[in-house]
């Protein structure tokens, strides 16, 4: 499956939903695991802001990649952020979208304002 690396150096990314376990099966409550490492996965919500436009996205990270010190509304860094297009058929309806995954989520600083003086 094709993955697309997301360049984040020019973006501001703010945490909007705290990390929580990613549920694989809602009926049983089974937590999703990484297919390679077997590690539990977490999901979090962020607003991705770049060039005056913003998008709310959900990002999956391994449990060990969730750093201490995360605060809602604060900037975060998502190293190794990738986008993976997907599609499936559910109840006879074709669905599609983009899944986002990062190696970790860590606190970041707000970018410097252009033209700001110290």
pLDDT tens digits, one per residue of 33-72: 998 899 999 999 999 999 999 999 999 999 999 999 999 9
2 band by pLDDT with thresholds 50, 70 and 90: confident
Q: What is the mean pLDDT of the chain?
A: 90
110 pLDDT more than 80:
no
CB of 2 closer than 8 Å to CB of 85: yes
Residue recorded with tokens 């436009």: 53
Q: What is the Cα 61 distance to its own chain's centre?
A: 7
Range name among 12-16, 55-59, 65-69, 85-89 with the lowest pLDDT average = 85-89
- Name, in order, each residue with C-beta under 8 angstroms of 26's C-beta and a sequence gap of 6 or more: none
Spatial CA neighbour of 12 closest among 54, 43, 62, 42: 54
- Alpha-carbon span 6 to 14, nearest angstrom: 16
Q: Record the pTM.
A: 0.85
pLDDT at position 1 is 60
- Alpha-carbon span 23 to 101, nearest angstrom: 15
- Alpha-carbon span 57 to 81, nearest angstrom: 12
């Amino acid at each position: 499956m094709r993955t697309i690396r997301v360049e984040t150096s020019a973006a501001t990314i703010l945490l909007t939903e705290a990390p929580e376990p990613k549920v694989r099966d809602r009926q049983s409550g089974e937590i999703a695991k990484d297919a390679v490492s077997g590690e539990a996965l977490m999901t979090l919500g962020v607003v991705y802001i770049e060039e005056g436009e913003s998008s709310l996205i959900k990002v999956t990270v391994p449990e060990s990649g969730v750093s201490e010190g995360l605060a809602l509304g604060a900037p975060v860094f998502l190293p190794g952020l990738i986008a993976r297009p997907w599609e499936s058929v559910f109840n006879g309806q074709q669905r599609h979208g983009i899944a986002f995954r990062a190696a970790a989520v860590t606190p970041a600083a707000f970018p410097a304002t252009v033209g700001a003086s110290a």
